[in-house]
Amino acid sequence: MIRSILVIYRKELKETLRDRKTLIFMLAIPILVMPLLFDFGLQFAIDTATKADTETLQYAIFGDEHLPELAGEFAGQSDFERVDIADREAIARAIGSDLIDFALVVQAPSGDNDAAGPQTTVFLYYDQSSSTSRARARASAIIQGLSDKARSDRLTGLGVVEFAQPRILRPIEIIKINTADMRAVLGEQVGGVLPYLFIIFCLMGALYPAIDLGAGEKERGTLETLLLAPLPRQQIVLGKYLVIFTASVTAAFLSLTSMGLWLATRGKQIVSDLGGDLEIGAIIKSVGTLDLVLIAVMLVPTAAIFAAVLLSLSIYAKSFKEAQSYAAPLNFVAILPAVLAMLPGVELDWKWAMVPITNIALAVKELIKGTMNYHMLFAILGSTAVIAGALLVFCTWWFRRENVLFRQ
């Protein structure tokens, strides 16, 4: 039986490796495309942030006679340019049409007779829908600086010496001390994203081989020839299943390897450009060999689930195009459980250890953080293996049905 399955496996694997799309999704994307996309994406984010922090912003100001110091502060900045608009009613329209980036409206001071002095209110108008705009932050920083200086001058006028002013303004000072090591911090920040990516690679690696070995063979008319071979159908489906499983695992492992190499070579420079000081090399070294092996092991049952589901869909489909249509919603089915692992409050416990895909994502996150409860691995791998086995049994039964294989 095993020999027959291996014969089918070798035959289908050779045909699969001849398919250009399979090679792209199983080898090219994990090894080359994804690291390049990450590099390009992060570099683009750095360039966009740098441009937002240094570009010249156009602004309008009304009521500056009530606070001439404010107008003077902005006028003295080379990266701000004042634009005159008709009146206050035109502020929203001017911002919406990109005539200005923000507007300031200074209200007349109140409380002139108070001991603390008058208080001036400044209204800052800006477009919050622009995710790349730094208008609010840059304008607020200048206004806050002016406010801090005015406060210090008033306290000095009231007889409060300069060195005592911080104590009066902050009678209780909080000093925050982080007790988590850098590995745990990094794991919390990126530990939810990485398993999401690996799960997607598992799905992508299995997608085209599954479609080709099921619906593709139907279109080419080679499935009937294969069924005439003196072999039980469960051996045929197991051979096909192992090819799809191999492609899925290969894509996941290659993505894991290429991402690690990219992080080790380019990650430190990227983090430095973003303003961080993480020692990427030290963090990578802190993830032990056992943890890396366990992360790889976590991806195996996930690949087994995807292989069984995709082969079942491909067997049912009448054509390659129809199989692609059936497989498209599976992306959302796979993504949603992985996204759950990134939500606040979702932590690995015995309940989540039974939820397929989510449990894998949470386990990988804990392994990266170095806070894994290794006893839960038995529950995670056991429950996932049971689900994968049940899906494989269903796939085998599905393949035996004539009305499924030869739908009209």
Question: Count of residues for the chain?
Answer: 408
* Torsion angles phi and psi, residue 261, rounded to 5: -65, -40
The type of residue at 390 is A
**Residues of 4-15 as b/e, b for ≥16 C-beta within 10 angstroms?**
bbeebbeebbeb
| Rounded distance between C-alpha atoms, residue 124 and residue 103, angstroms | 6
For the record, the structure tokens of 330 come out as 């599976």
User: What confidence category does residue 299 fall into, taking pLDDT thresholds of 50, 70 and 90?
Assistant: confident
Fold classification of 56-169 (topology level): D-Maltodextrin-Binding Protein; domain 2 (3.40.190)
pLDDT digits (tens, 9 = 90+) for 158-168: 777 777 777 87
CB 36 within 8 A of CB 60: no
Q: How would residue 268 be classed by pLDDT, with cut points 50, 70 and 90?
A: low
At residue 103, the pLDDT reads 92
- Say what the pTM is: 0.70
- For 316-344, write each residue's pLDDT tens digit: 888 888 888 888 888 787 788 878 877 77
Question: Is the pLDDT at 267 greater than 70, yes or no?
Answer: no
User: Within the chain, which residue ranges are assigned CATH 3.40.190?
Assistant: 56-169
pLDDT in tens, 289-298: 677 788 888 8
| 192-201 residues labelled b (16+ CB within 10 A) or e (exposed) | bebbbbbbbb
How many other C-beta atoms can be found within 10 angstroms of the C-beta atom of residue 287?
18
Region 375-393 average pLDDT:
89
The pLDDT assigned to 314 comes to 87
- Residue range 34-60, pLDDT digits in tens: 677 777 777 777 777 777 778 889 999
Average pLDDT of the chain?
Answer: 80
Burial class of residue 284 in the structure, from the number of CB atoms within 10 Å of its CB (0-12 exposed, 13-18 middle, 19+ buried) = middle
Determine the pLDDT at residue 125.
92
Q: What average pLDDT does the segment 266-282 reach?
A: 54
Query: CA angle 382-384-387, nearest 5°?
Result: 110
> Is residue 345 over pLDDT 70?
yes
Please report which confidence band the pLDDT of residue 277 belongs to, taking 50, 70 and 90 as the band edges. very low
Tens-digit pLDDT profile for residues 96-144: 888 999 999 998 887 665 666 678 889 999 988 876 678 888 999 999 9
pLDDT of residue 287: 61
Report residue 184's pLDDT band, with 50, 70 and 90 as the boundaries.
confident
Nearest CA to 327 among 210, 246, 202? Answer: 210
Residue 58 backbone dihedrals phi, psi, to 5 degrees: -90, 135
User: Does 231 have pLDDT greater than 50?
Assistant: yes
Q: What is the mean pLDDT of residues 16-25?
A: 72
Q: Under 8 Å CB-to-CB from 219, ≥6 apart: which residues?
A: 319, 320
The Cα 124–Cα 131 span in angstroms is 17
Confidence tier at 269 by pLDDT (50, 70, 90) = low
249 Cβ partners below 8 Å, 6+ apart?
A: 202, 205, 299, 300, 303
Query: Which is higher by pLDDT, 265 or 62?
Result: 62
